[in-house]
Amino acid sequence: MKPTRAKPRILIVNDDGIHGEGLRPLIEALRQLGRVTTVVPERERSTASHSLTLHKPLRLTKVAGEIHTLNGTPADCARFGVLNLMKERVDLVVSGINRGHNLGQDVLYSGTVAAAAEATLLGIPAIALSRGLGPGGYEAGAAFARTLARTVLKEGLPRGRVLNVNFPPLPASRMRGVRLTRLGDRVYDKKIVVRTDPRGDSYFWMAGRRVKNVLANGTDVRAIADRCIAITPLTLDTTDYAGLADMEAWGL
């Protein structure tokens, strides 16, 4: 008789914290695939990007079962979960499901994507998941995440590649399929709001909330506009190889 293969070990992280709307639907969906451990920030850390906490101690708090919070960034959660909490083999890291899309240039700021990228740096296959703002729940996205996770566990991912997945804010019956995409363009408002506090001192808000989506074919932005799930493979090697060739002519 062949030995029974151990269930896959899956780490879930996010940047929305323990109260993120997409967290528990994702946990329930992925528990059908394997053993799930969760480490998320103790508070919302959206747009934390790929920052690590190096100048203060980190503290882990057990919430229930295998669900924990950490007083750090999303990338901290991925690194701590893989290197300390789980210790044994980790087969997959899944980040999300984020409240709000991470499309185009958003990936540079996204804590959701950064947590998945940190896992990829550690040699673990990783997926980042985000859902647009709108009515309805996260069950459709969680169900697709389970399907995609099963495929990644079977097929694997090349080292240095992370999958960025975005869902339209719709039930599964209204989605129009899945597209493999490149990053698109989202143009944010560049306004900085200046206000005055009761003491007469100025303070500032980086407003930047209004977004213009550039609907170019083949992009994640266009796929979402067409009510499709967008899957964008990202690489951690951001070298501009064409730029290297161009700069040879500078004679430096």
Q: What would the mean pLDDT of 16-21 be, rounded to a whole number?
A: 96
Confidence of residue 136 (pLDDT cuts 50, 70, 90): confident
pLDDT digits (tens, 9 = 90+) for 21-58: 999 999 999 999 999 999 999 999 998 999 999 999 99
Query: In the chain, where are the structural domains located?
Result: 9-184+216-238
pLDDT for the residue numbered 210: 67
Three-state SS annotation for 65-132 = CCEEEECCCHHHHHHHHHHHHCCCCCCEEEEEEEECCCCHHHHHCCHHHHHHHHHHHCCCCEEEEEEC
Please say whether the dihedral angle defined by the alpha carbons of residues 36, 153, 142 and 51, taken in this order, is positive or negative.
Answer: positive
Q: What would the mean pLDDT of 97-101 be, rounded to a whole number?
A: 97
Angle between helices 23-30 and 139-155 (to 10 degrees): 40
- Specify the pTM: 0.93
pLDDT digits (tens, 9 = 90+) for 142-173: 999 999 999 999 999 999 999 999 999 999 99
Is the bond leading into 97 cis (omega within 30 degrees of zero)? yes
Using the predicted structure, report yes or no on whether residue 5 has a pLDDT greater than 60. Answer: no
pLDDT for the residue numbered 47: 87
Q: Locate 127 and state its tokens.
A: 């997926």
Using the predicted structure, report yes or no on whether residue 209 has a pLDDT greater than 90. Answer: no
Looking at domain 9-184+216-238, does it have CATH number 3.40.1210.10?
A: yes
pLDDT for the residue numbered 119: 98
Using the predicted structure, report yes or no on whether residue 3 has a pLDDT greater than 90. Answer: no
Using the predicted structure, report yes or no on whether residue 250 has a pLDDT greater than 50. Answer: yes
Rounded CA-CA distance 115/128 in Å is 8
Using the predicted structure, report yes or no on whether residue 232 has a pLDDT greater than 60. Answer: yes
Considering the chain, what percentage of its residues have pLDDT values greater than 70? 96
Rounded CA-CA distance 69/191 in Å is 34
pLDDT digits (tens, 9 = 90+) for 100-119: 999 999 999 999 999 999 99
Q: What value, to the nearest 5°, has the Cα angle with vertex 188 and ends 167 and 184?
A: 45
